Chain A
Amino acid sequence: MAYPANYRYTKEHEWVDVNGDVATIGITDYAQHELGDVVFVELPKVGAKIEAAKTFGTVESVKAVSDIYAPASGEVVEANDVLHNTPEKINTDPHGAGWLIKVRLAKPAEVGSLMDATAYEAYLASQSKEASA
């Protein structure tokens, strides 16, 4: 799966899609593949404040619980509640329909320091090299 060129990416495998001062946040294709079939999602409520580098929710497979880290700070304006009944969207469309939350950014400049698609792909490549060393 290609990584959208206009998204930004974190080392913890979250993506951010900024439109004005609202950012959509999700987890990457690499993350969903590592997790396996997603069976449960815990998202913050609308109005909740999230803080960059702190956890804001969890995504669970049968085997594991994974914390999701906020790529940037802000206030939750929408949560993808349809994921409660169809968590598998995170596996089938992690960069699209599997989005987790939309946030009004408190400090939009935070996103600028995240990796772009090319850097993220390079980061993934270096990770897998280390793992098989």
Chain B
Amino acid sequence: MEFVTTPPITELRKTPLNAVHRRLRAKMVNFGGWDMPVEYPATGGLVREHQAVRSSVGIFDVSHMGDIRIRSGRTPGGALAAVQHLSMNDASRLAIGQAHYSAMLYPEGTFVDDVIVHRLGEDDYLLVINAGTREKDISWVRENTKSFDCVVEDLSDAYTQLAIQGPCAHDLLPKLTDANLAVIKNYWFTHGTVCGLRNTLVARTGYTGEDGFEIYVPSDDATSEMVWNKVMEAGRQFGIIPCGLGARNTLRLEAKMALYGHEISDKINVWEAGLDRYCKMEKGDFVGRVALERAKAAGLTRQLVGLEMVDRGIARDEYCCSNESGDVIGVVTSGSPSPTLSKNIALAYVPPAMTALGTPIYVQIRGQKCKAQVVATPFYKRSKKATMPQAAANV
């Protein structure tokens, strides 16, 4: 057997909770230059972590992600103008306290990164970006907002970001905060005292396809550890366990959420990735818009589809897709067993003519052609609960 050996620890970046993960004897891995927990065998491992998020609640350290704040300069409106220029979604539709999914594009209409844009204030925005693209994104933002009257701050190292995800998250978090979470709808956020920390951002966002929250606390080790421990304590009655990047990946894959470097990259455009609904062409100009118009007119040569394995075998990232005759016609971007569905699933780029549901697609697995079929996505959708969020008892 061969194992990927972890590089010398001193060369990797660490989040403030690194010592906590090591104390919990997490299996650590190099993720984009960060020393991160992939799973925690002592409390169950990947499959159990995935199941915990789907059935009760799990906690993730996602502090490796980045945060860029864009505020107005001397005259109001500069920050919005800058965000509108950078981001493909329409930030003018955000209310204060609201967030949305978007992306920053290159002039070619391909992806710099995907991003969650939060409107913090009148002319004040927070962009949460990927860990692996932190430096690239901050340079991109600074470079492309020079002509706008705004202030750009890299706050990535200022926050420890924790994701508390699962149906019991909205029962857990009220135990730790005075913020009125009951009125925060999906993709909205608020500020409140969390674990005694004033003015803490609490967002109803996540990357799992379940209900949940992401909280942003000061990044010093002591505070970070205090909050982690308090969340674990408050979650004990719900069976909370720590969850790593392994479960994070299987959860987001089932929910058909894109991962940079896989479904989206600097070589893939918005239409191919199927992210049309987050791209508001009618809002006015933004970086990449012209190229996208041209690409739409020219027609697509590939499209992202969901696959389910039919033959025995697991399709994995970067495996080739072929037709019945064995000609290579596409590629798997992400593939894995699905713990919730007990099937082997994948996302793949294939020709537009092969995107109809039920179309057979063959995945090359170690030299063998294994049959899969195109299926609808997302692979998993959480059940809708009661219409209005119930008022939570005050802490």
Q: Please determine whether chains A and B interact with each other in the same assembly.
A: yes
**Does B337 make an interface contact (CB < 8 A)?**
yes
**Does B6 make an interface contact (CB < 8 A)?**
yes
Residues of A within 8 A of B39 (CB): 36, 63
Complex contact B336–A62 (CB within 8 A) = yes
Known contacts A58-B366, A63-B246; A131/B5 CB under 8 A: yes
Residues of B within 8 A of A59 (CB): 1
Known contacts A60-B314, A63-B38; A40/B337 CB under 8 A: yes
Closest A residue, CB atoms, query B9: A132
Closest B residue, CB atoms, query A91: B45
Complex contact A62–B41 (CB within 8 A) = no
Complex contact A36–B46 (CB within 8 A) = yes
CB < 8 Å neighbour of B1 from A27, A63, A131, A133: A27
What sequence of 0s and 1s flags, for each residue 63-81 of chain A, a beta carbon within 8 Å of any chain B beta carbon? 1111111000000000000
How many chain B residues touch the partner (CB < 8 A)? 24
**Does B291 make an interface contact (CB < 8 A)?**
no
A14 to B2, CA, bound (A): 11
A37 to B45, CA, bound (A): 8
**Does A110 make an interface contact (CB < 8 A)?**
no
Complex contact A62–B3 (CB within 8 A) = no
Residues of B within 8 A of A69 (CB): 1
Complex contact A65–B316 (CB within 8 A) = yes
Interface of chain A residues 29 through 55 with chain B (CB within 8 A): 31, 33-37, 39-40, 42
Complex contact A66–B45 (CB within 8 A) = no
Residues of B within 8 A of A14 (CB): 1
A59 to B314, CA, bound (A): 11
What sequence of 0s and 1s flags, for each residue 37-73 of chain B, a beta carbon within 8 Å of any chain A beta carbon? 0110100011100000000000000000000000000
Residues of B within 8 A of A65 (CB): 314, 316
Closest 6 CB pairs of A and B: A66-B1, A13-B1, A31-B1, A39-B337, A62-B337, A63-B246
24 examples of A-B residue contacts, CB within 8 angstroms: A31-B1, A34-B3, A36-B27, A36-B39, A36-B41, A36-B45, A36-B46, A37-B45, A37-B46, A37-B47, A40-B313, A40-B314, A58-B366, A62-B46, A62-B336, A62-B337, A62-B339, A63-B46, A65-B316, A67-B1, A68-B1, A69-B1, A131-B5, A131-B6
Using A36-B27, A36-B39, A36-B246 as known contacts, list a sample of 18 further A-B pairs with CB atoms less than 8 Å apart, ordered by residue number in A: A12-B2, A14-B1, A27-B1, A33-B41, A34-B3, A36-B45, A42-B366, A60-B314, A61-B46, A62-B47, A62-B337, A62-B339, A63-B38, A63-B246, A64-B4, A66-B1, A66-B2, A66-B3
